[in-house]
Amino acid sequence: MLAGVSCKKILSNTPTDFVTQVNYFNSESEVNIALAGVYDPLQRNEMYGKALHMDLTMCDEGFYRLSSLNTGPLVYNYDATDITILQYWTALYDGINRANIFLENVDRATMDATNKNVAKGEVLFLRAYYYFLLVRDFGAVPLKLSSTKSVGEVNIARTPIKDVYAQILQDMTTAEGMVRTWTSWGYPGHVTKTAIEAILARVCLTMASKPLQDVSKYQDALNWAKKVVDSKEHSLNPDYKQIFINIAQDKYDVQYKESMWEVEFFGNRVGTSFDETGGVGRYLGPTCTDIPTGYCYGNIHVTSKIINMYANNDVNDVRRDWNIAPYKYTGSVKTLFAATNVYDRTGAKFYREYETLLPRDQFSTPQNWPVIRYAEVLLIYAEAENELNGPTAIAHQYLNMVRARAKTFQYTGAKLITDKSIFRQAVMDERARELAFEGARKYDLIRTGTLVAEMKAMSAIVRLAPSTAYPQAVRPGDLASDRNLLLPIPSRELSLNSAMTQNPGW
């Protein structure tokens, strides 16, 4: 009965249920689908959905609200088995592998050559960006520039920090010449030319600082920042609050374009199984348990340390009562805090009450995450200029631009700074005030070598006026040590990859 039927034919079996890489990347729409897949990890909880403004960016800005939580990066008590760190590591390498597959296959697609080049540029940049996050948080990491093809590729050694950075610079620089501008897209969801320049400025500034301390990169940081400024595409939104109100309302700031690159989130999970929502506003906002008003944990409570950074500089700073919520909700009613009440105040920034997409979901929000704003570019410019040439007029000019928008005094006339190190500190403090709760502060403290000292300083400040409701406020500072300058390599990776080594202290 079987005679005459070739065994080969009977046993050949190509998948009927999914497409494989071999038969994909044919058309522009398939390329766009794969492109979305490379962006997708940015949205995960372990990245900009949550961890990159919560768990992994905890520093002297505040402390976690619940004393019952005893372990995890939120409370500076964690080890290499921590699940958030593993998931963060996993998300980054997922993104890298997807980018590698994209870059290896995209060339065979039949599509508009310009669009193809743009998509390639975006993916090349995203891969480099994922590596930037890796090298900044984990130090030397395996540098994979091609996709995993065999289940046997398990022992992958770490590449030295400077080599990882060299690849990041090379890829980002290449990508910068390939992608479209913000204006051309009309929104900041795609990576754009000036966004890459701004991130390159951030990368170069990080390289010039600790631990690499390649001071030659200050010039590059300045050059990239200057390129952004010279493009004249971006300016500061005159109203600081409006930047974040726009985000809550799903509006792009097409007038000023201050928000240069946003990780996009969307929807309220009503009537669809697609979930593109995130956690921006779920944690950083006024505490609220009323769902229609905008549920928010208010997870990070502040200490006088951050409050004083505003108060001791200029009490008129409009940013303080935006970045630190002066009220919470009792049900749907706003309850203002007493002026003396410090510890009940929460790190805010993303106010769900402004959301216009209704009904509001309890936990998930449509708010985008601003990865980099023009204000930071100006501050990088000022910092690099100061490092290279001292507190020059141009350094002052950019610092003052950011301050003017915040309605604070200008460093002019009698307040002009002549000392390089004082100017350096002024920029750092300005960054703390301007970029509070935007996931920047911890990395600023690491690159200036002050993380542990500032964490201890926060504990000391708390001990001066201890809180009975929040005894745990002293713990993160007490527990912080030099090993926190890098995250531990996840123990899962260590146990399965024999070429991997652990970071110091873990």
Partner 1 sequence: MLMLFWLAVLAGFNSWAQSRVVSGTVLDSTSGETLIGVTVTIKGTQQASSTDLNGKFSVSIPVNNSALVFSYVGYDPQTVIVKGETNLTVKLQSASQGLNEIVVIGYGAVKKKDLTGSVAQVNMGDLNKAPVVSFDDALGGRVAGVQVTSTEGQPGVGSAIVIRGGNSLTQDNSPLYVIDGFPIEGEANNLINPAEIASMEILKDASATAIYGARGANGVIIITTKRGKVGDPRINYNAYYGFQSITNKIPVMNPYEFVKLQTEIDPLGADTIYLKGKTLEDYRNVAGINWQDQLFRRAPMSSHNLSMSGGNAKTKYSISGSLQDQQGIIIASGYKRYQGVVSLDQDVNDKLRVGINVRYTNSRQYGTPTSAGSGTQGLLYSAWAYRPIAVNLDNLLDQLYDPSTPTLDLRINPVLTANNELRNNIVNSMIANGYAEYAITKDLKLKITGGYNNNQLRNEIFNNSKTYSGGPQAKNGPNGAIYNYQTTTWLNENTLNYIKDINKDHHIDLLAGITAQGAKLLSNGVKAVQLPNESLGLSGLDEGTPFSVLSSTSSWTLLSGLARANYAYKSKYLFTASFRADGSSRFSPENEWSYFPSTAFAWRFTEEGFMKKLGFLSDGKLRLSWGITGNNRVSDYATYSSFFFDPNGGYPFNGTVQKGAYINTLGNQDLKWETTAQTDIGLDIGFLNQRISVVADYYDKTTSNLLLNAQLPNSSGFDDAYKNIGKVSNSGFEFSLTTVNITGKKFGWTTSFNISFNRNKVLALAENQNVLLSPVTWFGSYTSAAYIAQIGQSASNMYGYLYDGVYQYSDFDKLSNGTYQLKANVPNNGNDRTTIKPGTAKYKDINNDGVVDANDQTVIGNALPKHIGGFSNNFTYKNFDLNVFFQWSYGNDIINANRYLLENGGNKPAVNQFASYSDRWSPTNQSSTIPAAGSYNSGPLVYSSRVIEDGSYLRLKTVQLGYNFSSKLLSAIKVKSLRVYASAQNLYTWTKYSGYDPEVSDRNSALTPGFDFSAYPRARTIILGLNINL
3-state SS, residue 155: coil
Give residues 113-172 in contact with partner 1 (rule: CB under 8 A).
Answer: 141-142, 144, 147-148, 150-156
Specify whether the CB–CB gap between 265 and 232 falls below 8 A.
no
Q: Identify the residue whose tokens are 């990890």.
A: 41
Q: Which of residues 486-505 bind partner 1 (CB under 8 A)?
A: 490, 492-493, 495-498, 500
Based on CB atoms, which residue is closest to partner 1, 86 or 395? 86
The whole-angstrom separation of Cα 404 and Cα 393 is 16
* Least Å from the CB of residue 500 to partner 1: 7
What values do phi and psi take at 218, rounded to 5? -60, -40
What is the pairing mode between strands 259-263 and 324-325? Answer: unpaired
Nearer CB in complex with partner 1: 294/391: 294
Site string for partner 1, 97-116 (x = CB under 8 A): xx-xx---------------
Q: Shortest distance, CB of residue 247 to partner 1, whole angstroms?
A: 12
Residue 186 binds to partner 1 (criterion: CB under 8 A):
yes
Distance linking the first and last C-alpha atoms of the chain = 66
Considering only residues 268 to 287 of the shown chain, the ones binding partner 1 according to CB under 8 A are 269-276
**What residues between 59 and 98 interact with partner 1 by CB under 8 A?**
67-68, 70-71, 79, 81, 83, 86, 89-90, 93-94, 96-98
- Minimum CB separation of residue 446 from partner 1 in Å reads 22
Query: Kindly report the CA angle at 63 between 57 and 64, in degrees rounded to 5?
Result: 90
Binding span for partner 1 by CB under 8 A among 18-26, 212-220, 280-288, 432-440 = 18-26
Selection from 220, 167, 228 nearest residue 193 by Cα: 228
- Which stretch in 15-23, 192-200, 210-218, 219-227 sits in contact with partner 1 by CB under 8 A? 15-23
Residue count at the site for partner 1 (CB under 8 A)? 90
Contacts of 251 (CB under 8 A, 6+ apart): none
C-alpha dist (Å) from residue 99 to 36, 194, 368: 10, 21, 22
Q: What number of other Cβ atoms are within 10 A of residue 112's Cβ?
A: 11
- Residue 286 CB, shortest distance to partner 1, in Å, is 17
Contact map string, positions 323 to 362, toward partner 1, x by CB under 8 A: ------------------------------------x-xx
**DSSP secondary structure, 186-247, as one string:** TSSSS--HHHHHHHHHHHHHHHHSTTT--TTHHHHHHHHHHHHHHHT-----S-HHHHHHHH
Does the footprint of partner 1 cover residue 38 (CB under 8 A)? yes
Q: Does 17 bind partner 1 (CB under 8 A)?
A: yes
Residue type, 336: L
Say how far apart CA 41 and CA 38 lie, in whole Å: 7
CB nearer to partner 1: pick between 39 and 224 = 39
Half-sphere exposure of 44 (CA within 13 A, CB side): 20
* String of contacts with partner 1 for each residue 455-474, x by CB under 8 A: ----------------xx--
Smallest separation, CB 402 to partner 1 (Å):
28
Q: Interaction with partner 1 in 239-268: which residues (CB under 8 A)?
A: 250, 252, 264-267
Per the listing, tokens 């300045």 go with 222
* Nearer CB in complex with partner 1: 250/353: 250
**Rule CB under 8 A: is residue 32 a binding residue for partner 1?**
yes
Give the nearest distance from C-beta 430 to partner 1 in angstroms.
32
- Tokens representing 454 are 């500032």
Nearer to partner 1, 89 or 244 (CB): 89
Q: Taking CB under 8 A as the criterion, which residues in 370-389 touch partner 1? A: none
